[in-house]
Amino acid sequence: MELGLESLAPVGGRRVARQWMGRTVGAVTAARLAVAEAAAPPAAAADDRALERVLADPGLPRLDFQPIVDLRRGRIAGYEALARFDDPLLSPPDVGFQVAANAGVAAELEARVVRAALGALPSLPPHCFLTVNVSPELLCSPQVDQVLRTAGNLAPLVLELTEHTRLIDYCDLRAALARHRDAGLTIALDDAGQGYSGLQRMLSLRPQIVKLDRSLTSDVDRDEAKLALAEMIGTFAGRLDAWLLVEGIERRRELEAFIRLGVPLGQGYLLGRPAPPWAGLDTDLGLLIREVAGRRAQDADIVVGLVEFAPAVPVLRVNAARERFLADQGLDLMVVIDEHQRPVGLLSRDAALAGRPRKRTVQRVGPSTPVAELAARSMARERRDRFDPSLCCDGRGRYVGIVRLERVVEWLVNRCGDVGTGRPATREEVTSR
């Protein structure tokens, strides 16, 4: 399913009520803090005083904004508003919000962050959206509800539901979301992929954006199981008419893996760190994204669309590979190359750590080799070599990357299987298609 971004962009004007309703620290809030401080040990009392200073200043907490990137067009699609406490007693932000929860003023603090995000909308770059985090259990609180009710048109605000405590009853939450959606609000759901409960939340709340749990992002280029789970969640999100947003992208290979998977939105330190408004996307990264996405669209039926990175080691320094494996626990194999950058063997983690020699029998393919042809060639190899990755080489025989048989099988299933009958395609059918 193709997932566009235009519907998240602002359509009309951005009139947003930005008045703070004359609010500083009300008598109720002050009383709650006083009670909490009197009953707290010295360290906790210091935290409460730091929180009281924040609530006494209408400009706090301040906001930083982290870019969210369109992984098809290579441009900024939106930003996430992130609360920042300058007082070290309330940092990192999770600590500050927990102190507020302990003092009974979490709703006041989250309402202030939402109001600050609404205040940033008029200066938001065109055709971008802005996300802000809200705890689901506080969305229906009078404080947060009032901020959203009095804001008028909420587009292009995206409310990201970040669940820290498990909700038992979603009825009130769904009613509140429906009301705010009518005012133009978009809903995002955080931490998709955290077990069955996460899928239940998706079904119950029907978000328009689903954020992949960051534990599935790290080293996804080296873990086919993570990649498969991310693809499954993306497909599920698409069936619910939602976009998949991958957060926590920190390495180029992770970025390329998600682009090849067709993920529409990405976020992470590689793409941009939280900063004052409004940071742009690095020009080279934008070019890389467009290049990889373009190859994905054009090279759907040839090997280059399945190539992934695996580090290489010169044949004369193969003994040093052991140190590389020890330093990188996610690394499962290395390609041995000669002085001309041509592959001459494969070295697995087990072999390197056990001191065994490299495997010299390798299968080389060109970037334009049809995937169906590679599948047929792989199945014709000796049994002991059949499931080894193939090595993609350029026109001069130099190493480019590897093609794992798992990726080839996935391609065959997606392109050639007869889903209606479950009948696998024949070799003739694969070749003809």
User: Using one digit for the tens of pLDDT, what is the confidence trace for 125-137?
Assistant: 998 999 999 998 8
Q: Among 272, 298, 324, give the residue marking a domain's end.
A: 298
Indicate whether 86 and 176 sit together in one domain. Answer: yes
Q: Regarding predicted confidence, which is higher, 365 or 423?
A: 365
The answer to whether residue 222 scores a pLDDT higher than 70 is yes
**344, part of any domain:** yes
Domain around 271: 6-298
112 by Cβ neighbours in 10 Å (0-12 / 13-18 / 19+) ranks as buried
Task: Give CA–CA dist 220/404, Å, rounded.
Answer: 14
For residues 257 and 311, state if they share a domain.
no
Q: Tens of pLDDT along 406-419?
A: 989 988 887 765 44
Residue found by looking up tokens 């080489």 in the block: 393
Q: Do 354 and 266 reside in the same domain of the chain?
A: no
Co-location of 187 and 44 in the same domain: yes
Whether 294 and 337 map to the same domain: the answer is: no
CATH code for the domain of 346: 3.10.580.10
Q: Of 248, 278, 298, at which residue does a domain stop?
A: 298
State residue 115's pLDDT score. Answer: 96
Q: What is the pLDDT of residue 42?
A: 57
The mean predicted confidence, pLDDT, of the chain is 82
Does 81 lie in the same domain as 228? yes
What DSSP line would sit under 247-303, residue for residue? Answer: ----SHHHHHHHHHHT--EE-STTT---BSS-----HHHHHHHHHHHHHHHH-TTBG
Q: What's the mean pLDDT in 221-225?
A: 87
- Pair 231, 103 in one domain: yes
- In this structure, the answer to whether residues 294 and 341 fall within a common structural domain is no
- Asked if the model's pLDDT at residue 430 lies above 80, the reply is no
Provide the domain count of the chain.
Answer: 2
- pLDDT score recorded for residue 84: 93
pTM for the model: 0.67
In this structure, the answer to whether residues 263 and 355 fall within a common structural domain is: no
Calpha distance 268→172 (Å, rounded): 33
CA 285 vs. chain centroid, Å, equals 16
Using one digit for the tens of pLDDT, what is the confidence trace for 323-365?
889 988 888 999 999 888 889 999 999 999 988 888 888 899 8
Give pLDDT, residue 317. Answer: 86
- SS3 breakdown of the chain: % helix, strand, coil, rounded to 5? 45, 20, 35
Q: 340 and 288 in one domain?
A: no
219 occurs within a structural domain? yes
The total number of residues shown for the chain amounts to 433
5-52 pLDDT per residue, tens: 444 443 333 332 333 333 333 544 554 545 445 555 556 677 778 888
Q: How far is residue 161's CA from residue 66's CA, in Å, rounded to a whole number? A: 17
Residue 67, domain member (yes or no): yes
Boundary-marking domain end, from 251, 266, 298: 298
Asked if residue 297 has pLDDT above 60, the reply is yes
69 close to 271: Cβ distance less than 8 angstroms: yes
- The tens digit of pLDDT for each residue in 110-125 reads 999 999 999 999 999 9
Same domain flag for 65 and 211? yes
Confidence of residue 88 (pLDDT cuts 50, 70, 90): confident
* Section 230-256 average pLDDT: 89
Higher-pLDDT residue of 286 and 240 is 286
Task: Look at residue 17 in the predicted model and tell me its pLDDT.
Answer: 30
What confidence tier does 56 reach under pLDDT thresholds 50, 70, 90?
confident
Residue 99 within any structural domain of the chain:
yes
Q: What is the pLDDT of residues 141-163, one digit of tens each?
A: 999 999 999 998 898 999 999 86
Q: Would 399 be classed as within a structural domain? A: yes
- Cα-to-chain-centroid distance, residue 271: 11
Q: Are strands 333-337 and 312-314 parallel, antiparallel or unpaired?
A: parallel
Contact 71, 297 (CB under 8 A): no
Quote the pLDDT of residue 427. 41
Shared domain check, 331 and 190 = no
Band (429; pLDDT cuts 50, 70, 90): very low
Q: Taking residues 51-67, what's their average pLDDT?
A: 89
